[in-house]
Every structure is written in C-alpha cells, then in structure tokens.
A and B are shown apart, each in its own frame.
Chain A
Amino acid sequence: MNTRYDLQTMLEELDEDIAGFDRTKKLSQDDIQRRIQAKRAKPQPHANNTQLRVDSPFTHDQESP
C-alpha cells in the first residue's frame, strides 16, 4: 500500500514540476503571436445566453398542464 501511495505522490509531484516549468518557460515572439491568434480565434460567449434560456423547450413545460 505504501509503495502505491508513494508512486501516486511522486506522479503528482512530477505533474506539478512540469506545470511549474511550463508556466516559467520563456516564449519567443512567434510563440506569443501564436497564443494571441489562438485567443482571438476562440468563440466568444453568446451575448444572449439569457434569452436562449428563456426560449428553451424546458421553459414551455411549465405552461403545460
């Protein structure tokens, strides 16, 4: 049991180390521009989410007997 626990702990620590390394990695100008392009390409959240929720079929259930 101890061996299994230790292995799990080691894996978690390794993941943290890798994540930490990624966060401190220096980016080239090309890397930065790729990240900016990726962010711009991401779809923006729908501005009328509230309206969509009101019009959803679930709201009509309340009207039915």
Chain B
Amino acid sequence: MSTSNKPRVLLVDDEDHVRTLMKVVVSALGFDVVAEASNGQRALSMFHDTQPDITILDMNMPITTGDEVLQGIMSTNPQALVIMLTSVVDVQSVERCLDLGAANYIRKDTPIAEMKTCLLETWNAHTTAHEETHEHAV
C-alpha cells in the first residue's frame, strides 16, 4: 500500500462511463484510483506497473477478457485482491472467477450504496486476512 494509506485501485472496463462512475464510487470510499484500463491486455500491463491494492475488473472486454486477466493476475500474485464488476452473471462465469481467486463478484446493476458496502467489506476482509497471515508467519 502507498504511504498515504489509501487503498490503490486499478479500474478495468472498456466503457468510459462505467470507469467514470466507478472512479466517483471508489473515491467516495476513500480509495485512490491509480490507473485505468479499457482492455484486458492493457490491464495486465498496468497491474504489473502499478501493483494496485484492489483491481476492479470487467468481464466482457476486447483483446483479453476479464477472466483471462484475472487468471494472469492471480498467477503472478495469488494474494492480489480482484473484484469482478460485470453484467455477465451466469453460474458458469461466476463460479469460474471465484475459483480463479476473485474476492468478490458484483453485478453492474447493483445499487451504488450496496456496491460501496460490498467493496468496503471485501477490502476489510482482505486486509484482516492478510494481517492474520502475517501474524502467523511472525
């Protein structure tokens, strides 16, 4: 995490208006958007460059799809916190992303207040789990 203690966020969505909306949402939670990507390939390169605390990831994108990006991220950093934000909500896609290591899966039509709660709870659960793992290691 950065010295400002604000969780650093990478936003990945091919739709500009979704990224704009999510920027407002995560900023309201006190998170810091450090990078944005409009396709999967760019998302992977930005993830490696910025090492964000949270990646918010769309599923349907050109070049590389969200689940492929998720797989790429988790293979290089299994501790990465990735939250799917998508309209693709069939059982197969949800299960695949959860199995690949997504920390949460949020429908795009979720009301903003619920979305904020979901993001915050996922971040808190992740940091708590990370602290516990660190304590056990010490």
Contacts and interface: CB of A to CB of B under 8 A. Distances in A.
Interface in B86-118: 89-92, 94-95, 98, 104-107, 110, 114, 118
Interface in A24-54: 24-29, 32-33, 35-36, 39
Residue among A23, A26, A32 with the highest chain B CB neighbour number at 10 A: A32
Nearest to B99: A39
Given A23-B90, A28-B89, 11 more contacts: A24-B90, A25-B90, A25-B91, A27-B89, A27-B90, A27-B91, A29-B107, A32-B105, A32-B106, A35-B94, A35-B95
Contacts, number: 34
A22 interface: yes
Interface residues of B, number: 14
B106 A29 contact: yes
Interface of A: 22-29, 32-33, 35-36, 39
Given A23-B92, A27-B89, A29-B114, A35 B98 contact: yes
Contacts of B94: 27, 32, 35
A32 B89 contact: yes
Given A29-B106, A29-B107, A29-B114, A36 B98 contact: yes
